[in-house]
A and B are shown apart, each in its own frame.
Chain A
């Protein structure tokens, strides 16, 4: 499968002088010139295949389309894995004769939830030491590692998240390192291999971390041991990446000039960093404090890259204006606080305050339990905001759960809202999802029924759970 990812990474490797032509082997300009060194940009391609669906029409249902619209007594029709149409109350839709029709009276439909901060598969259940594959704590700069090489698809957590309406999730390396490595975006259809779950054509992300974690981990191991040490570490790494890019540029230039240059030695670490500087890989930065996030936005300008999202961003409410100005999203918890100093100023109104300032707000989990009820996290933030005078309609609050995380991951052209032509990643809730008592009744991924609350045959049982106590039980 030819993917956007591969195209993006192609640019990373070859851009340096050759913006128009691809990197694939081209006829040699002269017989003396050996073929150009090229790098396979997509060595672990997605083999994801959707669960087969049937044309489905849900009627009489309350729809939040995830981009700011609400339809009471609406209908939604999806077929061949794509959303075909949404109809307001009173409108009818042309549907196929064999379409399955579901009466959604009293129920709600939303886009599938997208969690852009998960460690499922890299810190799976059971959390034995043998399974601890999320932090390459051997060096503060490990941009060369890829989370997808750690993902254990038999983590029962995927199936539990599915029951909570999560249709897409980003698996990140941990936050021990300044540069933790690449992330991978998965469709939440548990399967045999990581590649079977890999979201086709999703760009890569890269994890970075501010603050206490790198200091704590490396303080007695050669540093950094301070926040200023952290920043020096980022800056040196970016500078090294610039140098690396110049080497490749020189190679490209000389090659195009018909010379016979020696290709630079491939450096997997700098390759990923260069991908960020080229704009192909998205930065996901663990950062709590307002002042640190602001320093990082200056580092971003110094080296001319874009931070896509600050993760945790417990103090985002203090600098919501600056986050907006710099077009950086904040992925937040509703109410976690105090477990370390940099989380001490957490407030319940963080998410609505960021939204209210016009900045991009995201609800994230960073938890194998929290991921199962992100709708409740949004509900808490929504109601806390309301009580503090920030009255955000539910139809806008759903941006935090689907559209904004999709934007953060670079997949909003494919999923994250209920709009015609998009992937049919849809949750039918058995009531208002802004309630403790409401559950995902049906979860569709690419139009296929991946989970049904009332049909135990659709409840994933991972290999690990097979033949063990509780196999197939209601979880």
Chain B
């Protein structure tokens, strides 16, 4: 495995070195920093990093200038919670690395590590990045375990994916978690305290020679220790207000753990307490139906009410269509969320949650040069990403989908004179 990691790092360097110096000028730049919005800003990309962002001034020598006048420039969007790279087609299509069944390495699920499972050639990656999503948190999305193992943050550059391994861990602290903990929350929370306390109290190096009688396996313990140390945020999924209060209480009992609330359909009802406890949320702001008894308070106002109470809101939970997170954020704005908070929910906030705020999610000197030029307001459904830079390099705005489109539009135009399989779009 060490070899693999080395290789990944090497490739990453190659990609950065190959990047040219680029100046994006004239666009409306949302920096997502205290610099705010620059109406006609300049963003300089150099060696795969952002080298400067400024409102006025000259572009230095040696930069390829890209005119973004009349357009909007943002950091690349960060998919807050996905299974990108782990699944091609989920149903009836062979091994899907986003789900895990029983295995001797783990009892509680904490030990999985998705960093080894990322398929850089997944067709989802080009489909997703050409719509402005340049990195994503990815993890196991369904399994039979309490925890979803160690998630990773990946770049969608297509060949050097892992920006951060062991970036977060998921746990269902609602009905789903209760289901696999004996069918009741009465068991779930006792279980959660037990497995964390067990991990906390276990020796750092559990010896394989000595017997171990824990609920966790030895590998689970080592993964949970990273969570307890606060290095690996714990994404706790809960919808109903009473469950969210338990999440807050859990955080008080385990104060070193960096807790993030996920899904949070009724989070608006506990907004002040979440703000006080400094627990950010990742939500689907379009979810407004009582899909179950845990979601009776569902409303399109969730994002706005949370933000107004001072909670950090991230938006974007999907895999094949994580590209629609911008539309979700747009609908949150249409329902009262502050516009810049809408953009932050796709950029700065997920980056902060994942502990990568200096690297991702804002246009600031030294950050990765993941930058998108949009035809207009990125939260507007009729606008689109026109140019996408990942690690300072412009990606080819092409995917299987654009190739299918071009093949069949050409056939349509030519009245199907050629058998379709001979039709290739020009390279």
Contacts and interface: CB of A to CB of B under 8 A. Distances in A.
Interface in B390-406: 400-402, 404-405
Contact of B330 (A338, A345, A437): A437
A26 B290 CA distance: 53
A437 B334 CA distance: 5
Main secondary structure of the interface of A (DSSP, over half): loop
* Residue among B296, B297, B300 with most chain A CB within 10 A: B296
Interface extent on B, as a size class? 35 or more
Interface in A367-407: 368-369, 372-373, 376, 379-380, 382-384, 387-390
A127 B289 CA distance: 10
B409 A475 contact: no
B207 interface: no
B382 A379 contact: yes
Interface in A304-360: 317-318, 320-321, 335-341, 344-349, 353, 356-357
Contact of B290 (A156, A369, A379, A438): A156
B90 interface: yes
Nearest to A340: B91
Contacts of B293: 126
A475 B299 contact: yes
B379 interface: yes
A440 to B, nearest CB: 12
Interface stretch (B5-13, B177-185, B320-328, B358-366): B320-328
Contacts of B249: none
B111 interface: no
B124 A338 contact: yes
Q: Is the interface of B mostly helix, strand, loop or mixed?
A: loop
Given A335-B321, A475-B299, A126 B334 contact: no
A393 to B, nearest CB: 14
Contacts of B323: 335
B52 interface: no
B98 to A, nearest CB: 12
A216 interface: yes
B401 A127 contact: no
B288 interface: yes
Contact of A160 (B90, B266, B288, B380): B288
Contacts of B299: 470, 473-475
Given A436-B331, A468-B290, A380 B382 contact: yes
A439 B334 contact: yes
A319 B328 CA distance: 32
B408 interface: yes
Given A126-B293, A465-B296, A435 B382 contact: yes
Nearest to A468: B296
A157 interface: yes
Interface in B354-388: 379-384
Nearest to A389: B409
A123 to B, nearest CB: 11
A340 B90 contact: yes
Contact of A383 (B89, B334, B383): B383
Contacts of B297: 469-470, 473
B420 A436 contact: no
B333 interface: yes
Contacts of B300: 474-475
24 contacts: A125-B291, A126-B291, A317-B408, A318-B408, A320-B412, A339-B320, A344-B89, A347-B401, A347-B402, A347-B404, A356-B412, A379-B381, A383-B382, A384-B384, A387-B384, A434-B382, A435-B380, A435-B382, A465-B296, A470-B290, A470-B298, A475-B288, A475-B298, A475-B300
Interface of A: 125-128, 156-157, 160, 212, 216, 317-318, 320-321, 335-341, 344-349, 353, 356-357, 368-369, 372-373, 376, 379-380, 382-384, 387-390, 434-439, 464-465, 468-470, 473-475
